[in-house]
Structures are given as C-alpha cells and as structure tokens.
Amino acid sequence: MSMTPAEVREYARQHDMITTAGHAPGFMQANLLAVPQEYAFDFLLFAQRNPKPCPIVGVLEAGQYSSELLPGGDIRTDIPGYRVFENGELVAEPADAREYYNDDIVSFLIGCSFTFETALQDAGIKLPHIEQGKNVAMYKTNRACKPAGVFSGPMVVSMRPIPEDRVVDAVRIASRYPSVHGAPVHIGDPASLGIADLSMPDFGEAVDIPDNHVPVFWACGVTPQAAVMDSKPGLAITHAPGKMLVTDIKDSEYLIP
Amino acid sequence: MSMTPAEVREYARQHDMITTAGHAPGFMQANLLAVPQEYAFDFLLFAQRNPKPCPIVGVLEAGQYSSELLPGGDIRTDIPGYRVFENGELVAEPADAREYYNDDIVSFLIGCSFTFETALQDAGIKLPHIEQGKNVAMYKTNRACKPAGVFSGPMVVSMRPIPEDRVVDAVRIASRYPSVHGAPVHIGDPASLGIADLSMPDFGEAVDIPDNHVPVFWACGVTPQAAVMDSKPGLAITHAPGKMLVTDIKDSEYLIP
C-alpha cells in the first residue's frame, strides 16, 4: 500500500530513508539545491544552460519554504536527508536543515529521473536498484556542463541496468519526459563517459548488473552538487543523493504526448 | 535576394528598419531585455515561470556583448532600434544602446514568433502583416503572468490573421516550435483575451484582417516590456517591438520532430 506524497513528506520529517525511489509512485520527485541570493542568478543560469541534467521544476524565493509542489510542507524538513556544503566542502548531513537555512536562501527544485522510473516499471521493465533495495548508482562524467557565473562542473549521470531486449523501449519511454532528464545520454560502455569502474559510484550505491543487462546512463539532478563541489559557493544546501523531495505533481504532467 | 544574419545585423547597425520580420528567413530572431544584475535573478525566474511568452534562447552575462547567437556582433548596436526604460517609463528610443549599457548589465535574449513565420509561409500560409509591409500587431491581454521577485505583468500576444481554412495547419506547424512560443494561446474572439479593439494594438501596427481570415494570437516576447512597465526596475533596455536581433541560429534547431 503506497503513501501519498504528503504522507511520504510527513514520514521523511520523522525518519531517515535509504531512498525515496519507489515511494508515492506516479508523483514527481525533485532534487534540491539551495543557495544564498548572491548565487541565485548564476545557478538559475547554470540550470538554464544545462537543462538536461538540471531541469528546474520549481523555485522557492528567499524566505519561501512551501509551494504548490509541497502544499502544507516545508522544504527545510520534508526531505529525508540533507547535505550542507561550505565553500564546496561537505560539512554536515542533517536530517533537518532548519538551522542552516535563513531568509536569504533561494531553493531550486530540479527534476529527477525517478519520474520516469514508474513509466519504465509500468512497461514491465524491472529496475535492479529497486529490486535490490538500493539507492541508484550515480557517477561524475568527463562531460563538462556549460559554465554560468561562478558555477561549472561535470555532468553527473545515474545508471540503470536495463535488459538488452528492453533498451529500445527504455529510450522510447524516457524520451517522453524531456523536462525531467528525458532520453538517456549514453547506452553501454561506461568508459566513453570517463567512468572507470561501475562498482565505485561517486554518489548513491553500486548496483549489481544482472546477466543480459546493459548499463544505461541518464543525466542526473545531482549534477548541481558536483558543481557546488567544484565552484565552492560560500553555502549550499542540497538533498542527500537518492533522498528526494516527493512532490504533489503527477509524473504525467511532465509527459509529452 | 536575402541577407545573411550577419549582414542584417551590419545593416541594422547603420539603418532603422520598420521590422526585421521577413529578413534572413530561416534564422531565429530574438527579443532583448537587459537589466542591471540586481534584477537579473528575478527576471530569469520570471522567464522560467512564464516559458510560453518568455522562452530564453540565450543570456549574455554582465559585461558580455557577443555570443554564438551573434558571432562578431554587439548586442548594444546590432538591433535596428532600442527602448530604454527608467523606473518603468520609456525615456529614450535610441538606434544605438551603447550609452545606456554598462558592465553591470545582463542581456536576456528571448525567442520570437517570427521563428515559425517562415515555416507558416513555407506551407503556403500568407501572413498579412508581411504582405502589408507592416510590423506585427501586439496586444496586452487580461491574462496575468506568474510573478517572480519584482516582476509581474500581463501576457502580451502577437496577432496574425490566418485564412479560415488554414487555421488548423497554422496550429499544427507552430506547435512544432514549443521553445519559441509554439502553439497559439487563442483563436478567434479577441474579447476573451480582454482585447477591446484589434485596430488599437498596444505595440506594433494595426494589421488589416482580410475576408475569410481569423485572428490567431500567440504569446509574445514583448511580454517582458509590459512587465518592465508594470514592475518599474530602475533601468531596462529592450529592442523596439518588431525590431529584433537576427541571430545565426537556424529556426530548424528549435523544431521538434
């Protein structure tokens, strides 16, 4: 029996979760990047120039903590886990971000590939990380994002093993969600993205690749965290990878016909 | 014999033009809104929240005057006419904007419905404003944009009379350009958009509606100018309506298959 998005947010206020993947299926999940106003333009421009890894699905202005994406919610508490970066260094991983927020901070919500996972599963494509009870595996690549202001960094991808005979279907289905990463950026050899070892992800957990499965790579909303690590803004607050904001927006709103 | 985009920009540096519509066909034309950095985040967010009237196709950061959209060009001179607003009031309409620019100003380039005009014409749909040698007619509507920071205002639309028997084709063709206004926002009765009199446009020129033609309305990149008039930032520099930046980007790059 699945929870509503509001119930997942309520649960996340009280509990840690390995990942929000698979919870409140059919509702969009979002990545968080929050920065002081002095960095807000540069980051929004970074996202605008790199829409595939950084599709903006909502922005909470300085001092705003709720919106139609999380009615009655609070962006500072409704994610299961946060990461706090000072000058690009990870300094804390709190379950509640209120002590790090102040009314000068702008929160960017970025589309997440979990959005099309439901559609893949509905088409009978099993997702090994969900089957294995793991967070998705994420990797920094050798592809640079277009810089904007102070922000630059590599594109981060998420990897899902897909059965060989369903790869075409996975591409076709994910392509229908262009505003939440959409089509994969690469199929097959990880080396061509500069990934040396699939068993050593930069974020999330290594996922076993079953026989007759091909690794398929999608642009990932953790890309802003890599940009924060490279670009070292004074302060940045993000979700912990795999622990997303579960929104009230249906995945189908991001579907193109 | 048509000019290249660079030739139109060169010509615009030296001459006024009633409109750039119909020049360098097949190449994207862009609206300009330039504001000091203190307003840049609010405006980029306004555009992000109102993608239909304000599709961002490029951003020149503070102190940047050229980009791949206008190679070798200068955003301060390469538009046939500019408008300068101080506190929401139109204070000048220079042919050259250099004396109003400084290195604190960010320039936003916004997609223009001229982009799909070529595609309409290629399909044999004649456009009366081009036939009549006029600027397109533009109107403020009763539809409010989503506000962002200091910016708010009505959606502005451009109107093209379309032959009754080609309206479906016009919708179908324009829909293939979602990142430059795309499908019309309204077909037919102007009153439902709050437009009292088609012969009194708020921007551009009144266009005669031939027999058996229906007025069709598209979201318009002049919307930011209306937001400037309502929101009164200290300084804003825009193109003069109908006098656009002609870019080196092909319209076809904005086409979805």
Nearest chain B residue (CA) to A108: B45
Check whether residue B74 and residue B197 sit in a common domain.
no
Per-residue pLDDT tens over the stretch A99-110:
999 999 999 999
Check whether residue A35 and residue A86 sit in a common domain.
yes
Range of the domain at B145: 114-223
Check whether residue A168 and residue A131 sit in a common domain.
yes
Inter-chain residue contact B45 with A45, CB threshold 8 Å:
no
Per-residue pLDDT tens over the stretch B84-135:
999 999 999 999 999 999 999 999 999 988 888 888 999 999 999 988 888 8
Nearest chain A residue (CA) to B49: A58
Look up residue B185 and give its DSSP letter.
S
| Interface pTM, i.e. ipTM | 0.82
Check whether residue A107 and residue A40 sit in a common domain.
yes
Chain B contact residues (CB < 8 Å to A): 37, 40-41, 44-45, 48-49, 56, 59, 61, 106, 148-149
**CA dihedral over A158, A160, A164, A165, signed as positive or negative:** negative
Inter-chain residue contact B149 with A61, CB threshold 8 Å:
yes
Residues linked to residue B215 through DSSP beta bridges, in sequence order: B161
Strand pairing class (A105-111; A56-60): antiparallel
Nearest chain B residue (CA) to A64: B149
Backbone angles phi, psi at B87, to 5 degrees: 50, 40
Per-residue pLDDT tens over the stretch B215-253:
999 999 999 999 999 999 999 999 998 899 999 999 878
Q: Which residues in chain B are closer than 8 Å to A45, comparing Cβ atoms?
A: 44, 59, 61
Check whether residue B146 and residue B53 sit in a common domain.
no
Q: Give me the CATH number covering residue B83.
A: 3.40.1640.10
Residue of B40, B49, B56 lying closest to A41 (CB–CB): B40
Alpha-carbon separation of residue A174 from A11, A110, A166, A170, A255 (angstroms) = 29, 17, 12, 6, 9
Inter-chain residue contact A59 with B40, CB threshold 8 Å:
no
Burial class (CB in 10 A: 0-12, 13-18, 19+), B68: exposed
Q: Give me the CATH number covering residue A159.
A: 3.30.2040.10
Check whether residue B133 and residue B212 sit in a common domain.
yes
A·B CB contacts under 8 A: 31
Nearest chain B residue (CA) to A37: B41
Domains identified in chain A, total number: 2
Check whether residue B118 and residue B215 sit in a common domain.
yes
What six digits make up the tokens of A254? 């991001």
Check whether residue B18 and residue B72 sit in a common domain.
yes
Check whether residue B147 and residue B181 sit in a common domain.
yes
Chain A contact residues (CB < 8 Å to B): 37, 40-41, 44-45, 48-49, 56, 59, 61, 106, 148-149
What pLDDT shows up at residue A256? 66
Q: In whole angstroms, give the CA distance from residue B28 to residue A222.
A: 33
Residues linked to residue B158 through DSSP beta bridges, in sequence order: B138, B218
Check whether residue A96 and residue A140 sit in a common domain.
no
B78-105: b or e for each residue (b if 16 or more CB lie within 10 Å)? bbbbbbbbeeeeeeeeebebeebbeeeb
Q: Which residues in chain B are closer than 8 Å to A148, comparing Cβ atoms?
A: 59, 61
- Of A100, A90, A79, the residue nearest A32 (C-alpha): A79
What pLDDT shows up at residue A124? 95
Note down pLDDT in tens along chain A; length 257 residues. 579 999 999 999 988 888 888 889 889 999 999 999 999 999 999 999 999 999 999 999 999 999 999 999 999 999 999 999 999 999 999 999 999 999 999 999 999 888 888 889 999 999 999 888 888 999 999 999 999 999 999 999 999 999 999 999 999 999 988 778 889 999 999 999 999 999 999 999 999 999 999 999 999 999 999 999 999 999 999 999 889 999 999 987 876 65
- Of B54, B37, B76, B49, the residue nearest B180 (C-alpha): B54
Q: Which residues in chain B are closer than 8 Å to A59, comparing Cβ atoms?
A: 45, 48-49, 148
Check whether residue B103 and residue B11 sit in a common domain.
yes
Alpha-carbon separation of residue A86 from A227, A232, A237, B99 (angstroms) = 13, 7, 9, 40
Per-residue pLDDT tens over the stretch B153-166:
999 999 999 999 99
Check whether residue A108 and residue A121 sit in a common domain.
no
Q: Which residues in chain B are closer than 8 Å to A61, comparing Cβ atoms?
A: 45, 148-149
